[in-house]
Structure 1
Amino acid sequence: MPTDIPGIHHVTAIAGDPERNFEFYTDTLGLRLVKKSVNQDDVHVYHLFYADHGGSPGTSMTFFPYTNARQGRIGTGQVSTTQFLIPEDSVDYWTDRLESKDVGFVTSERFGDTVIGFEDPDGLPLELVAREDAPAGDPPEGPVPEEHAIRGFFGATLSLSTAESTANLLETMGFSPTEEEQHRQRFEADGELGYVIDLLEDPQAPQGQPGGGTVHHVAFQVTEDEQEQWRDILQQAGLRPTEVIDRKWFKSVYARTQGGVLFEFATKEPGYTVDEPLDSLGEELVLPEWLEDRRDEIEDALPELSL
Structure 2
Amino acid sequence: MSQHGIHHVTAIAGPASRNVGFYTRTLGLRLVKRTVNFDDPGTWHLYYGDEAGAPGTILTFFPWEHAAPGRLGVGETQETVFRVPEGAIGYWTHRFLEKGVAFDPIDKRFGETVLAFRDPDGMRLALVAVPGAEAEPGWSAGEVPAEHAIRGFHSVSLLLEEAAPTGAVLTDVLGFAQGATEGSVTRFQVPGTAMGGIVDIRPVGGFLKPRPGAGTVHHVAFRAADDAEEAAMAQKLRENHRIATTEQKDRNYFRSIYFREPGHVLFEIATDQPGFAVDEAPAALGQALKLPDFLEGHRSRIEGLLPSLGEPA
SS at match of 2:297: helix
Which residue of 283, 287, 294 corresponds with 1:290?
A: 294
Offset, 1:227: 1.1
> Is 2:189 aligned against 1:185?
no
Aligned partner of 2:212 in structure 1 is 210
Distance 1:171 1:76, change over 3 A: same
Offset, 1:204: 2.6
Work out the CA distance in 2 between the residues paired with 1:133 and 1:164: 32
Work out the CA distance in 2 between the residues paired with 1:273 and 1:211: 31
Aligned partner of 1:121 in structure 2 is 120
Asked whether the equivalents of residues 8 and 58 of structure 2 are also in contact (C-alpha less than 8 Å), the reply is yes
Asked whether the equivalents of residues 234 and 255 of structure 1 are also in contact (C-alpha less than 8 Å), the reply is no
SS at match of 2:295: helix
In the TM superposition, what are the counterparts of 1:53-68 in structure 2 within 5 Å?
A: 53-68=51-66
Offset, 1:5: 5.3
Asked whether the equivalents of residues 80 and 124 of structure 2 are also in contact (C-alpha less than 8 Å), the reply is yes
Aligned partner of 1:37 in structure 2 is 35
Deviations 1:63-100 (A, max 9, x none): 00000101111111111100000111111111111111
Amino acid at match of 1:147: E
Deviations 1:174-219 (A, max 9, x none): 2111111221100100312100100010003211111110000000
Offset, 1:275: 0.2
Q: What's the TM-score once normalised by structure 2's chain length?
A: 0.95
Asked whether the equivalents of residues 136 and 151 of structure 1 are also in contact (C-alpha less than 8 Å), the reply is no
Work out the CA distance in 2 between the residues paired with 1:244 and 1:5: 20
> Is 2:27 aligned against 1:26?
no
Work out the CA distance in 2 between the residues paired with 1:82 and 1:254: 19
Deviations 1:217-261 (A, max 9, x none): 000111113111111112121112011111000000111111011
Aligned partner of 2:72 in structure 1 is 74
Offset, 1:134: 2.5
Aligned partner of 1:175 in structure 2 is 176
> Is 2:263 aligned against 1:275?
no
Work out the CA distance in 2 between the residues paired with 1:279 and 1:38: 21
Q: What's the TM-score once normalised by structure 1's chain length?
A: 0.97
Amino acid at match of 2:157: T
Offset, 1:300: 1.2
> Is 2:180 aligned against 1:145?
no
> Is 2:233 aligned against 1:230?
yes
SS at match of 2:219: strand
Deviations 1:128-160 (A, max 9, x none): 011114364332221111111000000100100
Aligned partner of 1:90 in structure 2 is 88
Gapped regions of structure 2 (runs ≥ 5)? none
> Is 2:243 aligned against 1:242?
no
Work out the CA distance in 2 between the residues paired with 1:170 and 1:54: 27
Distance 1:302 1:241, change over 3 A: same
Query: Considering only aligned residues, what root-mean-square deviation do their CA atoms show, in Å?
Result: 1.2
Work out the CA distance in 2 between the residues paired with 1:4 and 1:280: 28
Alignment size in residue pairs: 305
Gapped regions of structure 1 (runs ≥ 5)? none
Work out the CA distance in 1 between the residues paired with 2:45 and 2:286: 11
Work out the CA distance in 2 between the residues paired with 1:112 and 1:48: 33
SS at match of 1:105: coil
SS at match of 1:187: strand
Amino acid at match of 2:297: D
Asked whether the equivalents of residues 36 and 286 of structure 1 are also in contact (C-alpha less than 8 Å), the reply is yes
Work out the CA distance in 1 between the residues paired with 2:60 and 2:81: 14
SS at match of 1:67: coil
Work out the CA distance in 1 between the residues paired with 2:207 and 2:86: 32
Work out the CA distance in 1 between the residues paired with 2:125 and 2:146: 20
Amino acid at match of 2:258: Y
Asked whether the equivalents of residues 13 and 67 of structure 2 are also in contact (C-alpha less than 8 Å), the reply is yes
